[in-house]
Structure 1
Amino acid sequence: MTPAPSLAELEADCWQQLATALEQKQNRTESHGFQTMTVATCTHLGADARTVVLRQVDADRKYVWFHTDARAEKVIQLEAFPNAVLLLWDPAQQIQLRLTIEPRLHTDDHVADDHWQKLWVGGRKQYLSAHTPGSVQPAPYPGFPPELGENLPSPEESEAGRPNFAVIECRVLAVDYLRLSRAGQTRARFEYEPNERFNWLAP
């Protein structure tokens, strides 16, 4: 029987899983559940949530990043209420991660420039929209100039989307880990701020 991992080993594995998910996405090999995340934000009416794509991981510094349209409602919410949670679920392993984060917006700086340069034209296409995300339209709108259709913009054409592009840098303050199993659930919490504390929790 394989011995249960220690808290330190389990915490390290969480970050390894995030790094693996990102690597598989970038190489377009396997599909890992952690490639997408639900970001939950606070609003004046309560809470809001939507799915975003994991774009970068720094396991040593405890940071993750995702992209968004700078005009999106989530940006306004994150600026008004600078705290949020990222929810990740991997159905293959039956593992849930909840990341408590402190977000930081990047639009006109080297961080946003670096992410933009690494983004292929297919990813840039969605930032070519002339309309603010969530704005009312008279008919279905694809989220980019309709004349593009299924075609990709040229690298030069895609640069028009740069002013609408934003990077959300997420400083991870804590990770709540939960694994479901018929043999018994496993739950733990890894806190990094203000002091590092790792604890087992009742599921």
Structure 2
Amino acid sequence: MIGAKEVEMTLTQIERSVWETLQADVQRPGSSFRYLNLCSVDHALTPKARIVVLRKVDPKRRSLEFHTDTRSPKWRELTGNPSATVLGYCPETRLQYRFEGHVTLFEPTSDYAVSSWSALPFHTRNTYVGGPPGDELPEPHTTKEILLGNTDSQQGHDRFGVIVFSVALLDWFKLSRESNIRAQFGYDENGEILSRSWVNP
């Protein structure tokens, strides 16, 4: 039988490993947890989900950072309702991370967005050139032609927004043939741990 001290230590190690993995995966383009599913709710209360690229992790404040076009539906959805869920899964480790929390949005003119923009390489800045996300195109290569023709490193800056997601709940899930394992961790508004526990898978 596992004692309380061993369980607490194991939970602590699990929680620490999540944030260490996320922080490392920001620098690894091919890693599973660099591409996460950001889920929001639109004005009609319809759930919406899309893959986003993890740009930055703050383990101390338990926050994740994503970048987006401020003309996108997700920006409008998160403006209307800042509550969100972020989901990630790694097929190699069979680990699922599910985060619940809320977002803070930084407009293109904010100091934080300006600073983040200045650190982006040109090819990434180019993804904000062209029409609004979701608009109809006459043919699939139209956007590519626009990107190839752009030489202005500042074009697209007025559409660049930063999403900072503050985690309130971390649900850690390990898939196993023998027995699935699940744990949950709660955080306060400053990222301090409020609770940690094993839960039924």
Q: Structure 2 length as normaliser, TM-score?
A: 0.87
Instruction: State the match for 2:160 in structure 1.
Output: 165
Instruction: State the match for 2:84 in structure 1.
Output: 84
Taking the aligned partners of 1:8 and 1:142, their CA distance within structure 2 comes to: 50
**Unaligned stretches of 5+ residues in structure 1:** 26-30
Following superposition, the deviation at residue 106 of structure 1 comes to: 0.7
Query: How has the CA–CA distance of structure 1 residues 166 and 143 changed in structure 2, closer, same or farther, with 3 Å as cutoff?
Result: farther
Instruction: State the match for 1:120 in structure 2.
Output: 121
In structure 2, what residue type is equivalent to 1:7? Answer: L
**Could you give the per-residue CA deviations for residues 119-146 of structure 1, whole angstroms, max 9, x where no partner exists?**
11111111011x21112233335446x2
**Could you give the per-residue CA deviations for residues 32-91 of structure 1, whole angstroms, max 9, x where no partner exists?**
210111111112142111100000000011111000001000011001111000011111
1:34 aligns with 2:33: yes
**Contact 2:129–2:147 (Cα < 8 Å) also in 1:** no
Query: How has the CA–CA distance of structure 1 residues 58 and 147 changed in structure 2, closer, same or farther, with 3 Å as cutoff?
Result: closer
Query: How has the CA–CA distance of structure 1 residues 191 and 142 changed in structure 2, closer, same or farther, with 3 Å as cutoff?
Result: farther
Determine which of 172, 175, 182 is the counterpart of 2:177.
182
Give the SS at the match of 1:19.
Answer: helix
In structure 2, what residue type is equivalent to 1:135? Answer: D
Query: How has the CA–CA distance of structure 1 residues 162 and 141 changed in structure 2, closer, same or farther, with 3 Å as cutoff?
Result: same
Taking the aligned partners of 2:169 and 2:92, their CA distance within structure 1 comes to: 23
Deviates more, 1:109-118 or 1:12-21: 109-118
Give the SS at the match of 1:40.
Answer: strand
Deviates more, 1:58-67 or 1:175-184: 175-184
Give the SS at the match of 2:134.
Answer: coil
Q: CA RMSD in A?
A: 1.9
Following superposition, the deviation at residue 97 of structure 1 comes to: 0.5
Corresponding residue pairs, total: 190
After the TM superposition, list the runs of 4 or more consecutive aligned residues in structure 1 that deviate by more than 3 angstroms.
141-144
**Unaligned stretches of 5+ residues in structure 2:** 1-5
Taking the aligned partners of 2:160 and 2:87, their CA distance within structure 1 comes to: 23
**Contact 1:128–1:158 (Cα < 8 Å) also in 2:** no
In structure 2, what residue type is equivalent to 1:122? Answer: H
In structure 2, what residue type is equivalent to 1:188? Answer: A
Taking the aligned partners of 2:17 and 2:142, their CA distance within structure 1 comes to: 39
Taking the aligned partners of 1:6 and 1:142, their CA distance within structure 2 comes to: 52
In structure 1, what residue type is equivalent to 2:198? Answer: W
Taking the aligned partners of 2:31 and 2:81, their CA distance within structure 1 comes to: 30
Identity of aligned residues (%): 29
Q: Structure 1 length as normaliser, TM-score?
A: 0.86
1:66-145 equivalences in 2 (<5 Å): 66-107=66-107, 108-129=109-130, 131-140=131-140, 142-143=142-143
Instruction: State the match for 1:16 in structure 2.
Output: 20
